[in-house]
Structure 1
């Protein structure tokens, strides 16, 4: 949804199901709702924020070995700079927070995971 010439909003919902066993009437499901807001500062620079939730209690997509499976909230922010028509630089910060200690930090289980990334993307 384009709110105005500078601000866009994306709402999404991903859901899937896998049959528990061949011939079974039971299914394991996963889901991931997201919301993204993007603000185009000028023709070369944009800011975006994203919030998401991911739930895979049965471990269909992400196997954890933890009762209750993978359940986590996420938030991220990024700055995109178009260096040229064909080269984009993205700086991103992401935080994931799980219901259980799904991640590791310094070799120990942790409920949170943080990441800072810098990427260059080229299109032709």
Structure 2
């Protein structure tokens, strides 16, 4: 049996600033012993600044703990236990088309990230961009 909950609140601090506080938690029966439960969780904090109708800047901090590899199997002694930090810029091109660019950094307890040359590391920093269309 598996249970999962996603709790979050979005708090408007003023006309331009909001905060999202979230906590995900999951519990699953262990395959080794049905009476044992494996737990994973993820607290998140996002601060979003919206200076104009079309633009927004956000920073995010999060932690993900999946010690027993239920969702993310890292095959390491500590499981998947990783901090993440990011900053992003959003631009509403039109009312239903959003462009985002984001810089993100992840730091893990173990060397779980694989570089293009095949080496492993306990951190990974990258930049991504996306277009989101809503209808």
* Structure 1 residue 88 corresponds to structure 2 residue 98: yes
Residue 100 of structure 1, aligned match among 94, 110, 120: 110
Match of 1:32 in 2: 42
2-structure distance, mates of 1:103, 1:21: 27
Match of 1:46 in 2: 56
TM-score scaled by length of structure 1: 0.96
Structure 1 segments of 4 or more deviating over 6 A? none
Aligned CA-pair RMSD = 1.2
- Point out the more displaced range, 16-25 or 47-56: 16-25
Where 1:61 maps in the other structure, the secondary structure is coil
Contact 2:78–2:109 (CA<8 Å) still a contact in 1? no
* Structure 1 residue 111 corresponds to structure 2 residue 116: no
How many residues are paired up?
A: 124
1-structure distance, mates of 2:30, 2:131: 41
Alpha-carbon offset, residue 118 of structure 1:
1.2
- Gap runs ≥5 in structure 2: 1-10
Alpha-carbon offset, residue 53 of structure 1:
0.2
TM-score scaled by length of structure 2: 0.88
